[in-house]
Amino acid sequence: MSHCCAPSRDEPPPDRAAAPVLPAAAPHATETVEVPAGEFLMGSSAPWAYPEDGEGPVRRVTLDAFRIAPGPVTNAEFARFVTATGHVTEAERFGWSFVFGGHLPDDFEDTRAAAHAPWWRQVMESSWAHPEGPQSDLEGREAHPVVHVSHDDALAYCAWAGVRLPTEAEWERAARGGLEGEPFPWGGELEPDGEHRMNVWQGEFPRRNSCDDGFYGTSPVGSYPANGYGLFDMTGNVWEWTADWFSRDFHTRDRRANPHGPRRGTHRTARGGSYLCHASYCRRYRVSARNALTPDSSSGNVGFRVVGR
């Protein structure tokens, strides 16, 4: 599977079980909205779908009711977590993370690029607090989604806040907003009546972004209309970690009630696409699209949202 959408670190880690999620040490109030119990059609076999990602087959899935945050975790929310716990992210421990080259100055040093995706550059000292490296900060981006967070960083936040990550099925049902079989949270057209409904790339990737949707990088959470469940940024803006290990075919084995991924794996599943998605190379800005990342991966377009326990 291609990692052009969001890069993994060099080598996948050895097969490992899910990390334990500890009880909340200092519960943090998290706004959530309810998604009702019911059935929905999960997956896609449309021409724009990626069969190699395991997007299909389309299957009818039943879920219990659950509560999910209206948007991804923001920089301000993650900062409160770090202040309360002293958490050091994996990007900070590694000493670097992946940054989109278009966000770097022209004279930036010639650092290592991600395999098969040279627009991703290794930037030393880049992290959630310094998204483009040590010369950058979060001023004016408090309401933007936090990025450069690994799956384990997301789990640590969840343990502190008394929440959890959504399963893939929960994420997709929430993203669909009550619509059946549509590619986007609002329906079947990418830009209905010429209106931009999400933060993705316009122009010629990766050289020119016309920014017709108003943004070059991340956008503040809630910059576009909510879907039918009152949820924002379910596609575009940033990829969102889910609880499930990635598999191309695990979901085909008659798992239709409150499904979840395999018990073990090497990659976790991320959903939703990001501000870098463009039809010329990555049509994963759809509600059924999937991406596989090693759990220690971090980049400038991967964040997460949470579900109430």
> In this structure, what CATH number is given to the domain that contains residue 63?
3.90.1580.10
Whether residue 10 lies inside any domain: the answer is: no
One-character DSSP codes across 78-142: HHHHHHHH----HHHHHTEEEEEGGGS-TT---PPEETTEEEEEEEET-BTTBBTBTT---TT-T
The size of the chain, in residues, is 309
One-character DSSP codes across 220-240: -TTSS---TTS---SSSSSEE
pLDDT of residue 7: 76
Average pLDDT score over residue span 240-249: 97
Q: How far apart are CA 68 and CA 5, in angstroms?
A: 24
Whether residue 136 lies inside any domain: the answer is: no
pLDDT of residue 107: 80
Whether residue 146 lies inside any domain: the answer is: yes
Q: Would you say residue 267 has pLDDT above 70?
A: yes
- Tens of pLDDT, residue by residue over 209-224, are 999 999 999 999 999 9
Angle, vertex CA 158, rays to CA 67 and CA 156, nearest 5? 165
Whether residue 263 lies inside any domain: the answer is: yes
Domain range for 35: 30-89+142-308
DSSP for residue 26: S
Region of 295 on the Ramachandran plot (φ > 0 left; ψ -120 to 50 alpha; else beta) = alpha
Whether residue 226 lies inside any domain: the answer is: yes
pLDDT of residue 121: 93
Whether residue 108 lies inside any domain: the answer is: no
Whether residue 110 lies inside any domain: the answer is: no
Whether residue 13 lies inside any domain: the answer is: no
Mean pLDDT estimate for the chain: 91
Q: How many structural domains compose the chain? A: 1
Q: What percent of the chain has pLDDT over 90?
A: 82
Q: Would you say residue 277 has pLDDT above 90?
A: yes
pLDDT of residue 4: 55
pLDDT of residue 6: 74
- Tens of pLDDT, residue by residue over 80-106, are 999 999 999 999 999 999 999 999 988
pLDDT of residue 113: 77
